[in-house]
Structures are given as structure tokens and as C-alpha cells.
Structure 1
């Protein structure tokens, strides 16, 4: 039997997928084109290997994808992740950049970017994902964007814990320290 929390998370995932589908269905037909579905993944920063090929196989004879097909395809992906840990520490796929690059210089740039990403750890990847202005700090607005699925009171407590210098922003090291403390507490 599923626990209440697990049922709630499952309902939140379904709602998130319903919302993503509705946003992608710009013409309101109740079906998505292959291009709309690909854009849905791009807008949500979810990268999957062979996405175009998999979506092409998913589309019906009319070339369109229904809500139930969309949910079945996206449920095991990061598109439906709702928890803080799931949102921040999404699995990064590196081979996608090589597949979408065109021309020799674009391919070289994609390889360099993929190599740089491989060298970063998951904490730094998460931090950089939400550091929108690339200043090396998470402002309160950037932090709030990262925590948009967390209750405000809890987000406030986490921000205060992260902002160890008390300067109203969170550095990578402050962020790393809080993540490490959380991991240590979960082990005990």
C-alpha cells in the first residue's frame, strides 16, 4: 500500500505533467506535435539522449501525441520531478550536445562544453543552473526560483542556513556546506 506522502508526490507529478502538456499545447487541440513536445523538454531544461527519434516513434499515424502517450513517455524522465532534491540534482546527459551540433566549430564547442560539465560535481552543476546572472552567487530571487516547489517558510529557513555570511546571497561554498550537512544528517 502506498503511503500518503508517496500518493501526494505521485499526484503532484501527474499535475506537473498535465500543466507541461497544457503549456506545450499552444493551439489547444489536446495533442502535441513532435516539435511541441521537443520544445517542452527544452523549456524545462530536460535533456534525453535520442529524444527526437524516441518522440518520432511515439507519435501516432497523424504525427501527434496525446496526453496519455505524453505522460507514459515523460513519467520516468526528469520532466515530472517535483522534489527539491530531484529538481536540483537532475541527471545531466552529455552526449546530447554532440548529436545536435552542426558544423566543425559547433561540434568542437559542444565537446568543450560537455567536457567542462563532466568535470563539475553535481553540487556545482545545480548551483550554476540557478545562478542566472553568472555572478558566482545565488541572489534571493535566484534561490527562490530554485525553491519554487517548496513552502515559503521552509525556503526561508533553508536560505538563512545557506547564507552563512549574512550578506543576502549564497556562494557556491555556502551552498556546498549546507548540502554536505544535509547528507551527513540523513546518514545518521
Structure 2
């Protein structure tokens, strides 16, 4: 009987010492699976318009695509001048479906565009200037932003992504 009681106690001790997944929230060096593989941004695109704390982000126009690119009004954007910049946006509280869709920013990250050799302006500045020259609604998608070194100008090609799908082109002096 003593042997059976000892076997039972040893079994209970070994069962209690088994390995089970644990969480150590006191150790900040451990990353959760979400931190190791962060969720992709909800939208990556160019900021085409800005109103107070809202920015209109439109994904670039895909070649040979017959559908409109993704467009989203993002509220709670950090303060600053956003028009023309290429950004990634993570949202909180989901996306309200409309066109453009609407969401609240959790995080907005500016994507660095490389400096074009020989150009004084950055591509984001050229896009911003082009958008200032275009009247009306800024529901536009970027087709092309190209620096023409021999002319010292930027060629900016855009497409309206409303029912007209009108193509627009403007030349921006590089100064």
C-alpha cells in the first residue's frame, strides 16, 4: 500500500512539473508572435489630399488593371504635411466600407523614396506640386512619377478614379 501511495505522489509531482506554454509578460525582450510577424498595412499608397487630421491615401494604379485602386480616407493621422508622400497605414477599429473607404489610423509610416540624381526636388515634392495644379476632387491615382534630366522637369501622370477615369499629365519644373 505504501508503494502505491508513493507512486501516486511521484506521478502527481511529475505531472505538475510538465512543460506547458507560459507567458512571461515581465520580460520585454520576448516577442509575441504578432511582433515577430506584424500584420501587413491596410493600405500602401500616396497621400493625394489632406483635410485637418484626415489624409486620402490611394494605392498606385496597377498596369493592365481594370478595377479602381484601393482608396481610403484615414482619420487621426499625425500632424504634418502629408500630400505627395508615399505611406503605409495600419488601422484600428476596422474599415468602413465605402469608396473611398474610411478608417482611423493606428500607425502611419512614410516610405522613404530615394533621391533622384540630378534632381533638386524629391518625387513626393513633385507629386505635391502637381496635385496643387489640378483643380477639383483629388480622387486620383498615380500612374507615373518620372524625372526627365535633360529637361530638368518631373513628369507626373495621374488618373481620376471616379466614373470618368480621365488621364491627367503635368510637368513640374525641378526647382
Would you tell me which structure has more strand in proportion to its own residues? Answer: 2
Max Rg structure: 2
Instruction: Tell me, yes or no, whether TM beats 0.5.
Output: no
Would you tell me which structure has more helix in proportion to its own residues? Answer: 1
TM-score, length of structure 2 as denominator length: 0.28
